Amino acid sequence: MAEAERIIGTPDIPEAEHGADGGQDAEGGQDAEGGQDAEGAQKPTGKRKIAVLFGVALVAYALDLVSKMVVVAKLEHHEPIDVVGDLLRFNAIRNAGAAFGMGEAYTIIFTVIATGVIVVIARLARKLYSLPWAIALGLLLGGALGNLTDRIFRSPGVFKGAVVDFIAPKGFAVFNLADSAIVCGGILIVLLSFRGLDPDGTVHKD
């Protein structure tokens, strides 16, 4: 257990002071949010994890937004560009469905789902004390925001917009950087769950 905590990271929670130095404070040491009291050291640590979450989300969102702007301006309505022979090419398309072109008849549903994911992540951030979880949720948030921006602002209309996809591996669906961020974040969450690490930094065994 100690080795697992060392590898995947747990919150920087100072050990409770005991003995001659005074013991825990009169309020019982920890607050309802899972951190220490107002004078403790864990709250700033949690804030740093939240900063990582939104920092990762901002980078993922910015890369996706800039890449789509370049694709629309330089690649759309042009011949695909071969990047690695015929194994990987850039080919601009508009996708009204979910990631990788699935479910094109349910654009508004995917818009609602993306909005729900963003709300859940924002609420979960309040109890976030794990750096790996901060990175994973940041990737999910940035990817969801990237595709949601397309659905709101691109044609054919608000909340019905088609997402710009352009990364086209041979024999695979066309996708974008937002899709990649979502998939990477999801995979990381699955790995963290298998290792027993919760968003609040606690490690458990089933």
Which residues are annotated as catalytic?
A: 165, 179
* 3-state secondary structure at position 185: helix
Instruction: Copy the structure tokens of residue 172.
Output: 């695979």
* 3-state secondary structure at position 103: coil
Please, are residues 57 and 141 in contact by the beta-carbon 8 Å criterion?
A: yes
Q: What is the H or E stretch that residue 167 is in?
A: strand 163-169
* 3-state secondary structure at position 84: strand
Which of 180, 167, 182 shows the shortest CA–CA distance to 82?
A: 167
Lateral strand order in the sheet of 81-84: 81-84, 88-95, 163-169
Instruction: Copy the structure tokens of residue 59.
Output: 């980078």
Helices first, then strands: H and E counts in the chain: 5, 3
Per the DSSP assignment, residues forming a β-bridge with 82 are 89
